[in-house]
Structure 1
Amino acid sequence: MNRQIIQVIPGIATSDGAGVRLRRSLGGHHRQRLAPFLMLDEFSSNDPNDYVAGFPAHPHRGFETVTYMLEGHMLHEDHLGNRGHLKSGGVQWMTAGRGIIHSEMPQQESGVMRGFQLWINLPAREKMKPAGYQDIQDASIPRFHLPHGGLIKVIAGRCQSSNGTVIQGPIHGLSTEPLFFDIHLSSDEVFSHPVPSSHHSFIYVYEGDLSIGDQAQQAPRQAALILGEGDQVTMQSGANGAKAIWLAAKPLYEPIVQHGPFVMNTQEEIMQAITDYQQNRLTTP
């Protein structure tokens, strides 16, 4: 059964970090979420005033952050000594675990800075595990080419073609079993793919025109399009093609308590995270 759009969460203009302008859909109004996804931001500007101040050093605990850079160049540094250049087409997948302090700073003073940041919750049993970081360059992300000119970048999970070929993305083996595709469709092209019926799923269209499901529901741009039940997703582009990210993951049926960059299961755990940060114990056992 093909999944249909059951909710549209428009991106709301806001700012974060030291004043980076962006659009927040998931995690925005009343913190609308789709477990295990906590937040989705899109940043896109050719005006350096919108991004040059970047995201100076700040803490996280209890979840994973994923930054996908469509265009631009940022430098990641953290307290573990990791230092990675996030360039066009690349992905930074960071597990905050019990604690990490990092920065993401633009390495350009002109041109386009464009991409997404996604927050994915961790199950309670993993919230205090050691922090980790993966820096994935564009060349290391496998592509699957569609018969009519489109392509799929497989960032997380597995992509399966109609002839049975399977492509594994660089991110796999996580508890929430995430699927993360960047989908580029040519004119009037159809893409269908199975998805576990247990997973929550959404689509975010960032270019062109796209319709979803058997009823060809028109997909608004710059909004998180929450999909209903089913074991398959089908989408079709319009005459000018379309680009979208598609995400799915296993939900966590656990309480969520968030205070800024900390996401835990109880208020007591949040207070402990704040105390640990204030006393320089956030990142140590």
Structure 2
Amino acid sequence: MSLRPVLETRAAQPHIEGAGVHLHRAFGFGDPSEQDPFLLFDDFRGDHPDMYSKGFPWHPHRGIETITYVLDGEVEHGDSLGNRGTLGAGSVQWMTAGSGILHQEMPRGNAAGQMHGFQLWANLPGSLKMTAPRYQDIQGSDIPEVIDDDGTAVKVIMGELWGTKGPVDGIAADPSYLDISVPPGVKKTFKVDTYRQTFAYVFAGAGAFSDASAPQGVLIEKDVMGQEVNIRDLSGNRTLVRFGTGDEITVQASEEGVRFLLVSGAPIKEPVAWHGPIVMNTQAELQQAMKDLRNGTFIQPAH
């Protein structure tokens, strides 16, 4: 077994998207090979409707899949194919844009006015970029949660953990998407596929994603549970953790515990031509998509 080293930790950056939604972007519109097959990850949350209520009005997508996971509040969605629906707290929508779709997403807060969700973009290989669009809407009650003896709780959205499979399937990148909560002071190891690109995103509490044997000269202290923690490696709220290669990831939860998403997928390793919500392989394909938008032929007929 080999523990994946931490290549980088970085804070998600404030950003305004859509018609004025305040969010934090962990990665996106940078080097597409860095997180291949993933292109972008946004954390949108707010305690007041002014921060999110104008939402994401009608906009196009082609050549990618978008994954929306709602923690608090809800998101109403509609598209050019006539689909309508509402994602409630705990639910997930996996949208395969494929050949092209126009849609909108409008967040609404809970009774206290709070809204929190995530959106991840996954690339499609060239062979599937013009596939027919489709949706998978998964209610929170249909997402299995497994709880280990030490209190670690994992919602298995996609992939498999401890013999439990998530409900989302048929995705090109064949990813794993886990929502993990580790109790205060607990150290936990998770198996990951050696050949998958993997990242963690911490959104509550804090934890140290590092080898038990810290490098010489790095400051070590003990938390309230008596566990040694490399305090320079603690990752807290809105922190992206990028990993190197290996087949295990270990996290040491802080005295407040830690909650994070653990996401992995098979790299596509293809050229990327990217403009906003449209991601193709070549500039010619990208130009054709923009031409289709102008000409009103962006939505392809069903085959």
User: Shorter-chain TM-score category?
Assistant: over 0.9
- Show CA shifts across 1:110-134 (max 9, x none): 6111111100001110000000111
The answer to whether structure 1 residue 223 and structure 2 residue 250 are counterparts is no
- Show CA shifts across 1:8-31 (max 9, x none): 232111111101010111115667
- Show CA shifts across 1:149-195 (max 9, x none): 221000110012xxxxx000012332311000000111112332211
The answer to whether structure 1 residue 281 and structure 2 residue 278 are counterparts is no
- Show CA shifts across 1:222-271 (max 9, x none): 12211011011121211111110010000011011111110001110001
Q: Given residue 49 of structure 1, which amino acid in structure 2 is its aligned partner?
A: D
Q: CA deviation at 1:221?
A: 3.1
Conserved in 2, the CA contact under 8 Å of 1:141 and 1:155?
yes
Normalised TM-score (structure 2): 0.88
Q: CA deviation at 1:213?
A: 3.2
Return the alpha-carbon distance in structure 2 between the equivalents of residues 261 and 267 of structure 1: 14
The aligned counterpart of 2:159 is 157
Return the alpha-carbon distance in structure 1 between the equivalents of residues 246 and 182 of structure 2: 22
Q: How many residues align?
A: 280
Conserved in 2, the CA contact under 8 Å of 1:12 and 1:28?
no
The answer to whether structure 1 residue 137 and structure 2 residue 139 are counterparts is yes
Return the alpha-carbon distance in structure 2 between the equivalents of residues 32 and 13 of structure 1: 22
| 1:106 to 1:219, Cα distance in 2 relative to 1, 3 A | closer
Return the alpha-carbon distance in structure 1 between the equivalents of residues 24 and 98 of structure 2: 26
Conserved in 2, the CA contact under 8 Å of 1:33 and 1:39?
no
The aligned counterpart of 2:115 is 113
Q: Given residue 244 of structure 1, which amino acid in structure 2 is its aligned partner?
A: F
The answer to whether structure 1 residue 254 and structure 2 residue 270 are counterparts is yes
Conserved in 1, the CA contact under 8 Å of 2:205 and 2:236?
no
The answer to whether structure 1 residue 264 and structure 2 residue 265 are counterparts is no
Q: CA deviation at 1:202?
A: 0.4
Return the alpha-carbon distance in structure 2 between the equivalents of residues 57 and 134 of structure 1: 20
Which protein has the larger Cα radius of gyration, Structure 1 or Structure 2? 2
Return the alpha-carbon distance in structure 2 between the equivalents of residues 46 and 63 of structure 1: 30
Q: What is the Cα-based RMSD across aligned positions, in Å?
A: 1.6
Equivalences for 1:19-38 in 2 at 5 Å? 19-27=20-28, 33-38=34-39
Secondary structure class of the residue paired with 1:26: strand
Secondary structure class of the residue paired with 2:137: strand
Q: Given residue 124 of structure 1, which amino acid in structure 2 is its aligned partner?
A: G
Conserved in 2, the CA contact under 8 Å of 1:151 and 1:185?
yes
Say which of 167, 170, 176 aligns to 1:170: 167
Say which of 253, 259, 264 aligns to 1:243: 259
Q: Greater CA deviation, 169-178 or 16-25?
A: 169-178
The aligned counterpart of 2:54 is 53
Q: Greater CA deviation, 77-86 or 119-128?
A: 77-86
The aligned counterpart of 1:205 is 202
Conserved in 1, the CA contact under 8 Å of 2:74 and 2:88?
yes
- Show CA shifts across 1:183-219 (max 9, x none): 0111112332211111010001011011113245422
Secondary structure class of the residue paired with 1:272: helix
Say which of 180, 185, 192 aligns to 1:183: 180
Q: Given residue 16 of structure 2, which amino acid in structure 1 is its aligned partner?
A: S
Secondary structure class of the residue paired with 1:269: helix
Conserved in 2, the CA contact under 8 Å of 1:42 and 1:114?
yes
- Show CA shifts across 1:81-137 (max 9, x none): 211211111111100000011111124486111111100001110000000111111
Return the alpha-carbon distance in structure 2 between the equivalents of residues 12 and 184 of structure 1: 23
Q: Given residue 190 of structure 2, which amino acid in structure 1 is its aligned partner?
A: H
Conserved in 1, the CA contact under 8 Å of 2:138 and 2:168?
no
Normalised TM-score (structure 1): 0.94
Return the alpha-carbon distance in structure 1 between the equivalents of residues 141 and 175 of structure 2: 21
- Show CA shifts across 1:43-94 (max 9, x none): 1111211101001111100000011111011101111221121111111110
